[in-house]
Amino acid sequence: MGYAAARGGLQAIEAAEKLVARERILGQSSWLDTDQIIEKLRLAVDRVMSEGGLWDEQLAASALRQAEGDPIEAAHLLRSYRSTLPRIAYSTPIDADDMVVLRRIVPAFRNPPGPQLLGRTTDYTGRLLHTEDDDTQRTNAEKMAAYIQENVTNFPDNDDDKNHDRSSRSPRRLLELLRDLDSVVDRRRSDDPEPFDITRHPARPPASRSARLATMARAETGALVNVWYRNILGPDGYLHEITLGEVRHGRLPVRMLHPLTGDEITVSFVRVTEVEAIEDLNGIDEDRGRFDVGYGLCFGHNEKKAIAMANLDIACERDQGRSFLEQSILLTTDGLDASGFLEHLKLPHYVTFRSMMERKVAIRQHQEASKNLESK
Amino acid sequence: MNTPLLQEILGNASRTDTNLDGSSSFKAQTLNFGLLDEYSKREIRRAILTAVAVPGYQVPFGSREMPVARGWGSGGLQISLAIVGPDDVVKVIDQGDDEGVNAVNLRRLIVSSTGIPESTTPEDSTLIQTRHRIPEDPLDARHTLVLQVPVPEPLRGVERDMRELARMHAEADYARMWVSLYEDKVRNGVITRTTGYPCLVNSRYVIATTPIPRWDIPRLHQSEFLSLFGAGREKRIYAVPPHTDVEPLTFEDVPFEVEKTPGAKCRNCASNNTFLVEVLATDVRQSYWVCSDSDWCRRHRELSDSSSQGLMT
Ligand SMILES: [Zn+2]
């Protein structure tokens, strides 16, 4: 029946929902707790919070489970949940220097100010797949757990303030050192403009830097990495490859003014990844005697995203609107936008297609008529 | 039809009672009237008022993420939910069909989050949300037509740079649009634009007429009803108020053409004066035509059935 297959209305939709629910909830395995998802699938939860623009590990884990592990779908669930909530207050600006770092590396210097704190990373771990059967892996994990318990002092608790003094958990930035050396272009401004709120106003080129940064902070990780890579490899231009000055993962306080007392109070903490990217200025009109710096910051532990963001931030600044870079960042990196529009192709299009068919016939009739005219 | 448990599991689309304790870690969302919070509705209504005041101008707004994907009517849905009131009756169509799955889904969201009645008949409806069609019935001042828009920018085919696009609209500089139509005519003998035909509104702004077929475009001109266009992904709202000129861009000596197929008529109601879509059979010779407006077709089939019965007796 052709397009009639797209009909069937409410019963078909409800049947599809029941099928999803049955397979996902009933299944053969035990119920998947959000605690498990938060602990064992930490990076997926972080990614969903970042792309969903909402810091809530429980809700993000719940969304991931409901979305059967699809991070874009999970981010969609979080964002549409946000749409139902009134915005009742604003937090006060946070100084990123208030971060308590859990990990911090400075590739630009061998001995930077403060520690190189490798922290929780698999960067230097061989990517060897555990191929033992699941029972063996579970037994091994239990043995490992017992061993860790017995030798707890040899296994650092990265998140425990007792093990570190204050200065090593809030190290001085490399950027400050470079500024002391007068090696960085100073683009700091003395006015304090309100940040552009991308959830209340659509960001379009030409946009403020805060609009670009907010867009990238919420962008889909793969999309942002792709914009970066296309601009490194050439199809969209030749981005300069930055040197990483800071890569940090840590906790930041969220503060508000108390509605009654007016005092600033800490209401929560968020984990963020923060990156400072050092750019070697080599343009004709640029200050070749100094560096410039790009900035990236996103929710959770997501170094790929924050690094791409920092490199694109400085690239946009240098581009000064000459290319389509800013438009690409603002308009093509949102996961919900791109996947939503792609998925809409699955909707029926038989009205538009009918209109196209009609024009094809009209064009061919015209072609034949003019051919006949020529042959006469 | 659903058990309460399943409703809870399915969450978003199912209306649940207000749960004040908020302690359960696994509860479906409690829904506000019209889903969106009141501040968001106010913001969207303000954008709509601007759009009505400046016909055809694309008003930027802080598009919210909806429980449907961006591209599945999230812009139209935001307009509907921002303007719907308890006295409204809603009709939702996709391709002209009330029973299309996306129409069903959007109608279910509007009805379940507001409790208002639904109808398939324009006569009984006040709020009509649509994708790709305008109902065949004449609409009047009681109706508000909400159109779901995938791509609100009519000039995208001639210019990629959004800064330049903004300038062209601001200065009403549509020269390149005219050139592209002219080239189309010269190369192909006919203007090959299909749906979403560009139109000049109130002699000022060129709009993308969603992808409604050319068949529907004359109905926007000097209409009795208000048309609101919502593009959720692109974060734009624009409007054609009642009694406003909507002129398809064409040349004095090249008349605007709507879709036509000589000899075609609806197999169900025998109409040859509605927008028809082809139903393909495996054997192409057995293919036939039906009205895309399924509700109009059903009512006219009943009419012709009863009148032909009247003739026989
Ligand atoms: Zn019919």
Domains of chain B plus CATH, in order, are 4-248 (3.40.50.11310), 260-313 (no CATH)
B199 catalytic per annotation? no
Average pLDDT over residues A33-52: 97
Cβ-contact B97, B136 below 8 angstroms:
no
B115 catalytic per annotation? no
Supply angle C-alpha A105, A230, A239, rounded to 5. 60
Catalytic residue among B75, B76, B230, B269: B269
> With an 8 Å Cβ cutoff, are B62 and A199 in contact?
yes
Q: Is B287 on the interface with A (CB under 8 A)?
A: no
> With an 8 Å Cβ cutoff, are B95 and A348 in contact?
yes
Contacts of B108 in chain A (CB under 8 A): 10, 13
Q: Which two tokens stand for residue A142?
A: 């239990």
Q: Separation of B270 CA from ligand 1 center, angstroms?
A: 6
Beta bridge partners of B254: B251
Cβ-contact A180, A295 below 8 angstroms:
no
Quick check: A4 pLDDT over 90?
no
What is the maximum alpha-carbon separation in chain B? 70
| φ/ψ of residue A224, rounded to 5 | -70, -45
Lookup result for tokens 């939860």: A45
What is the distance between the alpha carbons of residues B155 and B175, in angstroms, rounded to a whole number? 11
Contacts of B97 in chain A (CB under 8 A): 7
Q: Where does the pLDDT of residue B308 fall: very low under 50, low under 70, confident under 90, or very high at 90 and above? A: low
Q: What is the per-residue pLDDT for B29?
A: 52
Q: Where does the pLDDT of residue A239 fall: very low under 50, low under 70, confident under 90, or very high at 90 and above? A: confident
Helix boundaries (H) for B27-100:
38-53, 74-83
Q: Where does the pLDDT of residue B307 fall: very low under 50, low under 70, confident under 90, or very high at 90 and above? A: low
Q: Which of B250, B246, B264, B149 is nearest to A358 (CA)?
A: B264
Strand duo B236-240 + B59-60: pairing = antiparallel
> With an 8 Å Cβ cutoff, are B101 and A21 in contact?
no
What is the distance between the alpha carbons of residues B206 and B200, in angstroms, rounded to a whole number? 4
Q: Where does the pLDDT of residue B234 fall: very low under 50, low under 70, confident under 90, or very high at 90 and above? A: very high
Q: Which of B126, B128, B130 is nearest to B142 (CA)?
A: B126
Interface mutation vs chain A, best among B35, B101, B256, B284, most A CBs within 10 Å: B101
- DSSP secondary structure code for residue A331 in this structure: H
Q: What is the per-residue pLDDT for B297?
A: 96
Q: What is the mean pLDDT of chain A?
A: 91
Quick check: B75 pLDDT over 90?
yes
What is the distance between the alpha carbons of residues A45 and A64, in angstroms, rounded to a whole number? 7
Q: What is the per-residue pLDDT for A24?
A: 82
Quick check: B309 pLDDT over 70?
no
Q: What is the per-residue pLDDT for B280?
A: 87
Quick check: A165 pLDDT over 90?
no
Lookup result for tokens 């080129």: A205
A200 vs B62, B131, B279: nearest CB: B62
What is the distance between the alpha carbons of residues A26 and B197, in angstroms, rounded to a whole number? 49
Q: What is the per-residue pLDDT for A9?
A: 75
The contacts found for B119-122 with CB under 8 angstroms, 24 or more apart, are B119/B89, B119/B90, B119/B91, B120/B91, B120/B295, B121/B91, B121/B295, B121/B299, B122/B91, B122/B295
Quick check: B26 pLDDT over 50?
no
Cβ-contact B163, A206 below 8 angstroms:
yes
Q: Where does the pLDDT of residue B271 fall: very low under 50, low under 70, confident under 90, or very high at 90 and above? A: very high
What is the distance between the alpha carbons of residues A51 and A82, in angstroms, rounded to a whole number? 13
Q: Separation of A271 CA from ligand 1 center, angstroms?
A: 60
In one letter, which amino acid is B53? A
> With an 8 Å Cβ cutoff, are B31 and A9 in contact?
no
Q: What is the per-residue pLDDT for A8?
A: 64
| Predicted confidence (pLDDT) per residue in A100-137, tens digit | 999 999 999 888 888 888 888 888 889 999 999 999 99
CA distance A63 to chain B (A): 11
What is the distance between the alpha carbons of residues B155 and A179, in angstroms, rounded to a whole number? 47
Q: What is the mean pLDDT of chain B?
A: 89
Q: Which of B140, B145, B133 is nearest to B52 (CA)?
A: B145
> With an 8 Å Cβ cutoff, are B72 and A58 in contact?
no
Q: Where does the pLDDT of residue B28 fall: very low under 50, low under 70, confident under 90, or very high at 90 and above? A: very low
What is the distance between the alpha carbons of residues A63 and A348, in angstroms, rounded to a whole number? 28
% of chain A residues with pLDDT over 70: 95
What is the distance between the alpha carbons of residues A334 and A214, in angstroms, rounded to a whole number? 11
Q: Separation of B269 CA from ligand 1 center, angstroms?
A: 4
Provide the total of helices (H) and of strands (E) in chain B, helices listed first: 7, 11
Quick check: A25 pLDDT over 90?
no
What is the distance between the alpha carbons of residues B112 and A185, in angstroms, rounded to a whole number? 57
Cβ-contact A34, B25 below 8 angstroms:
yes
A318 three-class SS: helix
Contacts of A82 in chain B (CB under 8 A): 65
- The gap from C-alpha B62 to its chain's centroid, in whole angstroms, comes to 20
CA distances from B116 to A79, A193, B89, B155 (A): 26, 44, 6, 38
E strand segments, chain A? 100-105, 243-257, 264-280, 291-299
Order of strands, sheet of B246-248, starting from the edge strand that comes earlier in the sequence: B205-207, B199-201, B246-248
Q: What is the per-residue pLDDT for A152?
A: 79
Average pLDDT over residues A68-94: 93
B297 catalytic per annotation? yes
| Predicted confidence (pLDDT) per residue in A271-284, tens digit | 999 999 999 998 88
Q: What is the per-residue pLDDT for A211?
A: 98
Q: What is the per-residue pLDDT for B311?
A: 45
> With an 8 Å Cβ cutoff, are A201 and B60 in contact?
yes
Average pLDDT over residues A76-105: 93
> With an 8 Å Cβ cutoff, are A344 and B72 in contact?
yes
Contacts of B279 in chain A (CB under 8 A): 1-4
| Predicted confidence (pLDDT) per residue in A281-317, tens digit | 988 889 999 999 999 999 999 999 999 999 999 999 9
Q: Separation of B301 CA from ligand 1 center, angstroms?
A: 7
Instruction: Give this complex's ipTM.
Output: 0.88
Q: What is the per-residue pLDDT for B23?
A: 36
What is the distance between the alpha carbons of residues B231 and B70, in angstroms, rounded to a whole number? 9
**Contacts of residue B1, Cβ cutoff 8 Å, sequence gap at least 6:** A14
CA distance B313 to chain A (A): 35
CA distance B42 to chain A (A): 12
**Contacts of residue B154, Cβ cutoff 8 Å, sequence gap at least 6:** B177, B196, B198, B206, B207, B208
Backbone dihedral region for residue B11 (phi beyond 0: left; psi -120 to 50: alpha; all else: beta): left
Q: Where does the pLDDT of residue A5 fall: very low under 50, low under 70, confident under 90, or very high at 90 and above? A: very low
Quick check: B313 pLDDT over 80?
no
Q: Which two tokens stand for residue B92?
A: 């939702």
- DSSP secondary structure code for residue A347 in this structure: S
Quick check: A163 pLDDT over 80?
no
**Contacts of residue B278, Cβ cutoff 8 Å, sequence gap at least 6:** A354, A357, B264, B287, B288, B289
What is the distance between the alpha carbons of residues A314 and A307, in angstroms, rounded to a whole number? 11
> With an 8 Å Cβ cutoff, are B277 and A3 in contact?
yes
B266 catalytic per annotation? yes
Average pLDDT over residues B107-112: 95
Q: Separation of B308 CA from ligand 1 center, angstroms?
A: 16
Q: Which two tokens stand for residue A238?
A: 């030749």
| Predicted confidence (pLDDT) per residue in A250-270, tens digit | 999 999 999 899 999 999 999
Q: Count CB neighbours of A316 within 10 A.
A: 23
Q: What is the per-residue pLDDT for B9?
A: 42
Beta bridge partners of B207: B199
Q: What is the per-residue pLDDT for B111?
A: 96
**Contacts of residue A266, Cβ cutoff 8 Å, sequence gap at least 6:** A253, A254, A255
Q: Is B194 on the interface with A (CB under 8 A)?
A: yes
Q: Length of chain A, please? A: 376
Q: Which two tokens stand for residue B143?
A: 């109706």
Q: What is the per-residue pLDDT for A1?
A: 29
What is the distance between the alpha carbons of residues A38 and A58, in angstroms, rounded to a whole number? 7
> With an 8 Å Cβ cutoff, are A341 and B71 in contact?
yes
| Predicted confidence (pLDDT) per residue in B166-215, tens digit | 999 999 999 999 999 999 999 999 999 999 999 999 999 999 999 999 99
A202 vs B60, B193, B278: nearest CB: B60
Average pLDDT over residues A339-357: 94
Residue A73's closest chain B neighbor by CA? B69
Quick check: B118 pLDDT over 80?
yes
CA distances from B163 to A235, B22, B97, B101 (A): 22, 47, 38, 38
> With an 8 Å Cβ cutoff, are A347 and B260 in contact?
no
> With an 8 Å Cβ cutoff, are B60 and A25 in contact?
no
Q: Which of A75, A67, A78 is nearest to A51 (CA)?
A: A75
B157 catalytic per annotation? no
Contacts of A327 in chain B (CB under 8 A): 161-162
B233 vs A8, A13, A340: nearest CB: A340
The contacts found for A359-368 with CB under 8 angstroms, 24 or more apart, are A359/B190, A359/B192, A359/B193, A359/B194, A361/B261, A362/B190, A362/B192, A362/B257, A363/B188, A363/B189, A363/B190, A363/B192, A366/B188, A366/B189, A366/B190, A367/B189
A352 vs B29, B192, B195: nearest CB: B195
Q: Separation of B257 CA from ligand 1 center, angstroms?
A: 22
Q: Separation of B290 CA from ligand 1 center, angstroms?
A: 5
Quick check: B16 pLDDT over 90?
no
Q: Where does the pLDDT of residue A88 fall: very low under 50, low under 70, confident under 90, or very high at 90 and above? A: confident
Quick check: B86 pLDDT over 70?
yes
Q: Is B11 on the interface with A (CB under 8 A)?
A: yes
> With an 8 Å Cβ cutoff, are B71 and A343 in contact?
yes
Q: Separation of B190 CA from ligand 1 center, angstroms?
A: 29
Average pLDDT over residues B223-230: 98
Backbone dihedral region for residue A331 (phi beyond 0: left; psi -120 to 50: alpha; all else: beta): alpha
Virtual torsion, Cα A345, B220, B51, B101, nearest 10 deg: -30
